């Protein structure tokens, strides 16, 4: 079965040190991660932001006054998945280091995670939903050659 089609916009805000993030997020890698997590054709924007923008978005849209790793803004799931994924570069880098994972693998996990959210998956609605979403992430990441991030 062919993978769903994806129209992707990949954006980088002004980052203090963009080189490692641009290397970890080569366009073909981003497309691969998202397409493997899609269940339908999609138009997705991925924006890599600094801590200030990440905190402002999280505060303004979720009422949480801190920068988080990934925010998903989902606009439609049918007939086309339409969403924005916002990844906060300093948070992702810090987490990757703390978890002893490569930056590229952590970005892959968060791209898959955000793409699942864009399609209605939610780990905050109950334990069964969280377990189902985690299992799906592990399965997708394995297909991408990325180790289980929950171990």
Phi and psi at 42, nearest 5°, equal: -150, 155
Judge whether 28 is annotated as a binding position: no
Tokens of 33: 């991660």
Q: How far is CA 117 from the centre of its chain?
A: 9
CA torsion sign for 76, 68, 45, 132 is negative
CA distance 1 to 9: 25
The DSSP 8-state label assigned to residue 16 in this structure reads S
CB 93 within 8 A of CB 20: yes
Q: Please give the Cα distance from 11 to 13 (Å, whole number).
A: 7
- Consult the annotation and say whether 113 binds a ligand: yes
Contact predicate 103/111, CB 8 Å: no
Annotated binding site: 113, 117, 123
Annotated binding site for Zn(2+): 113, 117, 123
């Amino acid at each position: 079965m062919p993978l769903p089609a994806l129209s992707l916009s990949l954006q980088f805000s002004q980052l203090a040190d963009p080189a490692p993030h641009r290397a970890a997020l080569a366009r073909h890698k981003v497309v691969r991660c998202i397409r493997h997590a899609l269940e339908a054709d999609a138009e997705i924007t991925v924006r890599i932001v600094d801590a200030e923008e990440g905190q402002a978005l999280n505060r303004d849209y979720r009422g949480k006054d801190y920068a988080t790793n990934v925010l998903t803004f989902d606009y439609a799931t049918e007939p086309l998945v339409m969403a924005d994924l916002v990844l906060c570069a300093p948070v992702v880098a810090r987490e990757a280091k703390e978890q002893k994972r490569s930056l590229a693998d952590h970005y892959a996990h968060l791209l898959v995670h955000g793409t699942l959210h864009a399609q209605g998956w939610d780990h905050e609605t109950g334990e069964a939903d969280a377990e189902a979403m985690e299992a799906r992430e592990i399965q997708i990441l394995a297909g991408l050659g990325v180790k289980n991030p929950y171990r």
